[in-house]
Amino acid sequence: MQWHYLDPGKPQQNGYIESFNGSLRDECLNEEIFDSLDDARRKLGLWRYDYNHVRPHSSLGNKTPAEARRALELSEGSAHGALAQAQNDNYQPQGLSL
């Protein structure tokens, strides 16, 4: 079977990532001035923590992504290890203070 895609790269192809990209752009990138690469990493880390652990998402039943992931991992019938894992075992989260 051959796959046919409508218009590659159009927003309609993946609405979830387009929504995320819009949120990142509107809430962080358009609002912040980055003084250095370290400053950008710190501010983006804070935004990412807020997005994943603090703010509920209506698409997840008003749960945070972290809560939704835990619920999925604990639910019956879910395959152990089915969710994506960090690629780098040496990853160290950046500090969360301004």
* Residues of the domain holding 49: 34-70
Task: Please say whether the beta carbons of 41 and 49 come within 8 A.
Answer: no
In a domain, 49, yes or no: yes
Considering the domain boundaries, does residue 39 fall inside one?
A: yes
In a domain, 54, yes or no: yes
- Domain contains 41: yes
Asked whether residue 84 is assigned to any structural domain, the reply reads: no
Query: What are the pLDDT digits (tens) for 48-87?
Result: 999 999 999 988 899 999 999 888 888 865 556 666 666 6
Q: Residue 82 falls within a domain, yes or no?
A: no
Single-letter amino acid code for the residue at 20: F
CA 43/CA 76 separation, integer angstroms: 37
- Residues 52, 6: Cα–Cα separation, whole Å: 31
In a domain, 46, yes or no: yes
The three-class DSSP label of residue 19 is helix
Looking at residue 3, its pLDDT comes to 58
Structure tokens at 87: 């690629």
In a domain, 25, yes or no: no
Give the chain's domain count: 1
- For 4-37, how does the pLDDT look when each residue is reduced to its tens digit (9 = 90+)? 555 655 656 677 788 888 999 999 999 999 999 9
